[in-house]
Structure formats: C-alpha cells, structure tokens
C-alpha cells in the first residue's frame, strides 16, 4: 500500500537525500573510522561482547531485505553514534552501506554550527527539532520513511528524548516511530538495548572509559488501531520490548 | 455539538497538561498549545487520544500536524464530528 508520507517527499528532497547518501558514502572511509577512533580512544569506550553484537546484526541483515528501523533506548546525546559503532565496524559498513543507519539528531545541538552541520551531514544524519513545529518534524519523518522504504536503515529513539528516569519509559512513547512503521510495508524493527555500566541516569555523554553491554532483538509489531492510536500502540510495543531487554541487562549485572 | 461546547471541552482536556496555568485564564482560539500553554510536545499525543475518547472520533497522524492552536483543535474536532 502506497503511503501518503512517501508521496509527500518532494522530488527535490529525494534528490537531496540521494546526493547526501553518495557524499556520505564517499566520505565514509574517513568519517566512520574517525568516529570509531574517537569513541574507542578519545572517550575510551569499550563494548563487551562487541563481536557477538556485530555478528547478530550481520545475521539479521543477511536474513532479510525487508525495510528496517532500528529502535534503541536513549540516555546520552551520542547514543546514535555508539549504537552504529556497536552494530558494525567501519569496514563492514563500507561494504554494506545501507545498513549504516540514518539518524535524526536534535537540530539545536548537532546543527548549531556550520562545522557540526557538515559533520552530521557526512554521517547520514537528518537533524530534527524535537518538540518543534509539527510540520517540520513530519517532514523529517517522511524523509526517514522514504529512505527506509528504499532499502536504507533508520535509527529512531521511540521515547523521542533521553529517558529522564534512566529507565525505558514505556509511557513516554512518541508516535514518530509508529508513523514510519505504519507507512512502510513489511517493515521490521530491530530493538537495540545498549548501556554503559556507569550510566545510572541520562547525561550528555557516557562517562569516559565506560564499558557498554547490549543486545538486539527483531520484532514485528502489529496493531488493530489506526491513526494516532495505532502509531502510539506500535511505539508502546517497541518500548515494552526494550523494557524487557533492560530487565535482562539489569538481571545480568546482579 | 456547537463550537463553544467543543472549545470548553478542549480546554478541560488540555488543563492537566498545561504548564503555564496563567495562560489558561486568557485562553482564546489563537492560543498556541505548545508555545503559550507550554504543553509538553511529547504529551500532545495523550491530548489527541483524549480528544478521540471524549468526542468519539478518530484522528489521523497527519491531522495532528495541523493542530497548533486551541482553535485548530476545535476546528479539527468539529470537522470530524461532521
């Protein structure tokens, strides 16, 4: 079923996205390596079970070409970069570029200066103003839906913002991810729970040298509802799964 | 249901989500829900779902994009009620 959101991405925006993708691909050997280097050696982060997590992601990508949205818990400003780093090496992404997720970072933070704008442009990012004018938010969601429907992968935080309680907040479900999911036929969701051992609550950055552990699960949410209620229902199901994964994470630490 | 009745119900639904209670005292159709009443944007969906329940209507995702002011909300509900 063709979606209204696909139709609403004008041809000039489609061209812009295509150009951004190609520029990103050209720059990716340097950009991805720099990000991975910064996370590992600049911030000193390590991911426990990194090889397993990456193998799981490779397996999931191999298993199906269905449109894919990655949904993760959200505690710090750089979660999207850490999740992408956790799921694949720069070299893997070079050969499987569609699996490098598009991100929607907060415009007021990540697009505040020309240098930051250029940086995130080169990292498959579409800045969004959370809580901003609805049409602007919808425009970005439409672009994401368009990209996902065309074989790209998107990373979305279903809580919309960082969890203030430090725990997955199922009741904070935004509708954005549900809108994208409903508008892309045969879409699947990869839930990723990733957290630093010293990450007690939300923060701007994980603590320097923190060690992360994480897991991923594939789900196919379903809803009998339509409209806003359906979108919220989808987001609820995704967050409920992430909350389950969080419980497993916490239990494993005891 | 007339416009005034819808307006009053909309305000009643919005009230628990309003952070700027002072703005409620002088609320009009032109009052911006997020900017003036300071309703958290993440809670706007809860407001919309309450509109659905109270007025027994169904609101599409795209419809929400048109709701910026109290008047927009009233107009949307009015159009759904036919």
Instruction: Summarize pLDDT for A81-132 with one digit per residue, the tens.
Output: 999 999 999 999 999 999 999 999 988 888 889 999 998 999 999 998 876 6
Domain boundaries, chain A: 4-197+208-253
Complex prediction ipTM: 0.85
A66 vs A187: CA distance, rounded Å? 6
Q: Write b or e for each residue in B3-19: b if 16 or more Cβ atoms lie within 10 A of its Cβ, otherwise e.
A: eeebbebbbebbeebbe
Nearest CA in chain B to A8: B62
**Rounded average pLDDT over A7-18:** 90
- DSSP result, chain A: ---HHHHTS-HHHHHHHHHHHHHHHHHHHHHHHHHHHIIIIIS--EETTHHHHHHHHHHHHHH--S-EEEEE---STTHHHHHHHHH--HHHHHHSGGGS-BB--BHHHHTSSHHHHHHHHTTTB--B-TTS-HHHHHHHHHHHHHHHHTT-EEEE-TTSS--TTSS--GGG--SHHHHHHHHSTT-EEEEEEEEETT--S--SSPPTT-EEEEEEEEE----S--HHHHHHHHHHHHHHHHHHHHHHHHHHH-
A170 is written with which tokens?
Answer: 């199922």
Could you report the per-residue pLDDT of A181-216, keeping only the tens digit for each?
A: 999 999 999 999 999 999 999 999 999 999 999 999
8-state DSSP, B54: H
Q: What is the pLDDT of residue A3?
A: 42
Q: What is the pLDDT of residue A132?
A: 67
Q: What is the pLDDT of residue B40?
A: 85
Mutate to test the interface with A, among B45, B48, B60, B67 (most CBs of A within 10 A): B45
Q: Given an 8 Å threshold on Cβ–Cβ distance, is B59 in contact with A232?
A: no
Taking 90 as the threshold, does the pLDDT of residue B1 lie above it? no
B42 to chain A, closest Cα gap in Å: 6
A91 and A103 Cβ atoms separated by less than 8 Å: no
A242 and A158 Cβ atoms separated by less than 8 Å: yes
A103 vs A111: CA distance, rounded Å? 13
Q: How far does chain B reach from its first CA to its final CA, in angstroms?
A: 10
Q: Given an 8 Å threshold on Cβ–Cβ distance, is A174 in contact with B45?
A: yes
**Rounded average pLDDT over B35-64:** 91
- Looking up tokens 């795209």 gives B62
**Rounded average pLDDT over B51-67:** 92
Closest among A214, A158, A162 to A45, alpha carbons compared:
A214
- Looking up tokens 């002088």 gives B26
Residue from the list B34, B58, B68 with its beta carbon closest to the beta carbon of A227: B58
Q: Write b or e for each residue in A129-163: b if 16 or more Cβ atoms lie within 10 A of its Cβ, otherwise e.
A: ebbeebeebbbbbbbbbbbbbeebbbbbbbbbbbb
Taking 80 as the threshold, does the pLDDT of residue A230 lie above it? yes
Mutate to test the interface with B, among A131, A175, A228, A236 (most CBs of B within 10 A): A228
Please check whether residue A226 touches B, CB under 8 A.
yes
The class level of CATH for B3-81 reads mainly alpha
B33 and B42 Cβ atoms separated by less than 8 Å: no
The class level of CATH for A4-197+208-253 reads alpha beta
Please check whether residue A174 touches B, CB under 8 A.
yes
**Rounded average pLDDT over A243-250:** 95
B17 vs B40: CA distance, rounded Å? 7
**Rounded average pLDDT over A141-170:** 92
Taking 50 as the threshold, does the pLDDT of residue A64 lie above it? yes
8-state DSSP, B1: -
A53 is written with which tokens?
Answer: 């997590």
A72 and A103 Cβ atoms separated by less than 8 Å: no
């Amino acid at each position: 079923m063709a979606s209204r959101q696909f139709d609403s991405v004008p041809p000039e925006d489609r061209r812009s996205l295509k150009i951004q993708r190609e520029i990103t691909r050209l720059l990716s050997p340097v950009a991805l390596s720099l990000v991975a280097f910064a996370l590992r050696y600049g911030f000193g982060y390590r991911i426990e079970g990194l090889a397993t997590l990456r193998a799981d992601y490779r397996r999931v990508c191999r298993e199906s070409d269905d449109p894919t949205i990655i949904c993760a818990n959200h505690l710090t400003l750089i979660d999207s970069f850490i999740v992408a780093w956790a799921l694949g090496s720069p070299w893997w992404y070079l050969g499987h570029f569609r699996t490098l997720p598009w991100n929607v970072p907060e415009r007021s933070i990540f697009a505040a200066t020309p240098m930051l704008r250029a940086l995130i442009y080169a990292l498959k990012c579409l800045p969004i103003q959370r809580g901003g004018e609805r049409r602007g938010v919808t425009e970005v969601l439409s672009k994401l839906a368009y990209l996902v429907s065309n074989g790209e992968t998107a990373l979305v935080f279903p809580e919309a913002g960082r969890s203030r309680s430090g725990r997955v907040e199922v009741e904070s479900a935004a509708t954005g991810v549900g809108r994208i999911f409903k508008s892309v036929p045969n879409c699947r969701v990869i839930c990723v729970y990733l957290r630093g051992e010293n990450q007690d609550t939300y923060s701007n950055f994980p603590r320097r040298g923190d060690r992360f552990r994480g897991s991923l699960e594939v789900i196919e949410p379903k809803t009998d509802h339509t409209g806003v209620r359906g979108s919220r229902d989808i987001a609820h199901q995704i967050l409920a799964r992430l909350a389950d994964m969080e419980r497993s994470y916490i239990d494993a630490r005891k | 249901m007339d416009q005034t009745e819808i307006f009053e119900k909309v305000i009643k639904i919005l009230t628990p989500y309003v952070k700027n209670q002072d703005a409620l005292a002088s609320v009009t159709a032109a009052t911006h829900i997020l900017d003036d009443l300071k309703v958290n944007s993440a809670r706007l969906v809860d407001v919309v779902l309450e509109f659905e329940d109270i007025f027994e209507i169904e609101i599409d995702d795209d419809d929400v994009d048109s709701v910026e002011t109290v008047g927009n909300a009233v107009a949307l509900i009015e159009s759904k009620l036919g």
